Amino acid sequence: MRRFEILSEEERVDRYKALAKKALLAYGLAPDLTYIGQGSHIVFRAALGGGIFAVRIGDPGRDLGMLRRELLWLAALGRDTSLSVPEPLLTLRGDLFSSVSMEGVPGTRSCSVIRWIEGERREAELTPDEVSAMGSVVAALHRHAEGFRWPEEIAPSQGDAAGRAFAACDSLRSVFTLPGDPLLLTDAAALIADHTPESTDARPIHGDLRLRKLRLKERVAGIVGFGRCRAGTDLEDLSPLWAELGERRTATELQEALLDGYRSVRPLPFAPEAAFRAYGALRALEDAATSLDALRQDRRSKAEASERITGGLRRSLSNIVHPTGT
C-alpha cells in the first residue's frame, strides 16, 4: 500500500471515506458520503433517515476533551432548547463519538456525526432584521449557558482576560520587534485590563462567533462551529460579531440591531464600545500567539509566514487600540 504522505488529494479523500465508513459501523450506519472539505475536521455529508448529517473525522492529535465539551453542550442544547444547532447523533452504545483506525491512514482518529444545519450563510448584505435575529439566537445560547456546566474532568480552565493578554504578549515579544511594537502591546494589554470583567463572570460560550458561523433560514438564525467553545463572558462572545458589523457601511445601525435582538431575549449589561474593542484586541493577541506557536513547531515554516502573522496583528491592534478619530 502506498504511503499516505505521497498520495494525491483525491487518493487521500478516498482513504478518508473508507475510514469514515468503518467508523460509522459504530452508529449502525452505511450511508453514501459526499466529501465537503477539510479544516479542523475532514467532513463528509450524509443523508440519513432522520435528515442530513455531517460526518467528521478528526486529526490524530485532536484534544478529545475539547471534542467532548463541544458535543456535550450541543447535545444539551438539542435536548433543552429549540435552537438550530448541530446536535450530535449518538453511537449504538450511546457514545458521543467513536474512535477508529485503519491501515493506510495515520493515527487513531475520532469520528462524530452531527446534524447538518440548513440555511444561508450571509456575510455580504445584511438587514437590521436579520442581524437582530442573530442577536436573539446568541442570547438564547447564553441563556442556556447560565445553567449548563461541563463535567469537572473536562471543564476548561479560564484565566481573567488581563492575565490571558499578558501571557499572549509575553509569547509575542520576541517576534514583535519593530519600533513602536512594545508600546502597542502595552497599550493593548492596558485596554484589556481596564475594560473586561473579572473571570468570576465566565461560563460556557461559543468561543468563535463570526458571521460565517451563523445560518439564516426564514429569518431564523442557526449557529454552527462550536469546536472552540470554552468558558468566557457574554461580551467576549459577542465582540467578533460586533467588530465584523463595524466594517459595514451601515455599521451603527447593524450593531444596534445586534444588541437590540440580544436584549429582546435576555438582559445585557451596559456594553461600551471600549469593552468590545478590548475583547477584539484579546482575540487578535491570542490568535497570533497560537499561530506563531504552531509555526515554531513546524520545521518547514519560513520567516515570511511569521512576518505575515505579526504584520496582521500589528494592523489589527493599531485599528483596535488607536481607532481613527479617538
Say yes or no to pLDDT of 158 above 80: no
- Picking from 237, 278, 281, 231, the residue whose alpha carbon sits closest to that of residue 259 is 237
CATH code of residue 144: 3.90.1200.10
Among 183-192, 268-277, 311-320, the range scoring the smallest mean pLDDT is: 268-277
Statement to judge: residues 97 and 198 lie in one domain: no
Res 35 pLDDT > 60:
yes
Extended strands (E) in the chain: 33-38, 41-48, 51-58, 88-89, 98-102, 105-115, 203-205, 214-217, 220-223, 230-232
Looking at the structure, do residues 79 and 160 belong to the same domain, yes or no? no
Same domain as 43, residue 192 = no
| Residue 301 clears pLDDT 60, i.e. is over it | no
- Tell me: do 169 and 206 sit in the same domain: yes
Residue with cell 477508529: 100
pLDDT tens-digit readout, 195-237: 887 666 678 999 999 999 999 988 788 999 999 999 988 999 9
Across the chain, what does the average pLDDT equal? 89
User: pLDDT tens-digit profile of 48-107?
Assistant: 877 899 999 999 888 999 999 999 999 999 999 999 999 999 999 999 999 999 999 999
Please report the pLDDT score of residue 325 as a whole number: 53
Work out the average pLDDT over 113-141: 91
Flag whether 69 is in a domain.
yes
| pLDDT band for position 7 (cuts 50, 70, 90) | confident
Burial 70-97 (b: 16+ CB within 10 A, else e): bbbbbbbbbeeeebbbbbbbebeeeebb
Residue 34's CATH number: 3.30.200.20
Q: How far is 61 from 108, CA to CA, in rounded Å?
A: 9
Q: Are residues 75 and 212 in the same domain?
A: no
Range of the domain at 229: 128-321
User: Do the domain assignments include residue 107?
Assistant: yes
Residues 89, 231, single domain; the answer is no
Residue 11 lies in a domain: no
CA distance 278 to 252: 18
C-alpha grid cell, residue 93: 452504545
Instruction: Say if 289 falls within a structural domain.
Output: yes
Distance (Å, whole) CA 211 – CA 131: 10
Highest-scoring range by mean pLDDT, 76-80, 118-122, 238-242, 310-314: 76-80
Claim to verify: residue 256 and residue 285 sit in the same structural domain:
yes
Cα torsion angle, 4, 6, 8, 11, sign:
negative
How high is the pLDDT of residue 98? 95
Residue carrying the nine cell digits 433543552: 80
Which residue has better confidence, 294 or 192? 192
- Would you state the pLDDT for residue 272? 79
The whole model's pTM is what?
0.89
Is 223 a domain residue?
A: yes
Q: Mean pLDDT across the stretch 239-251?
A: 89
Q: Confirm whether 123 is domain-assigned.
A: no
Give the rounded percent of residues in the chain with a pLDDT score beyond 90: 60
The tally of domains found in the chain comes to 2
Q: Determine the average pLDDT of the residues in 113-139.
A: 91
State percent of the chain over pLDDT 70.
95
**Stretch 150-156: mean pLDDT:** 91
For the residues 258-286, what does the mean pLDDT come to?
A: 89
pLDDT at 143 over 70: yes
**Residue 21 pLDDT exceeds 60:** yes
Q: How many residues does the chain have?
A: 326
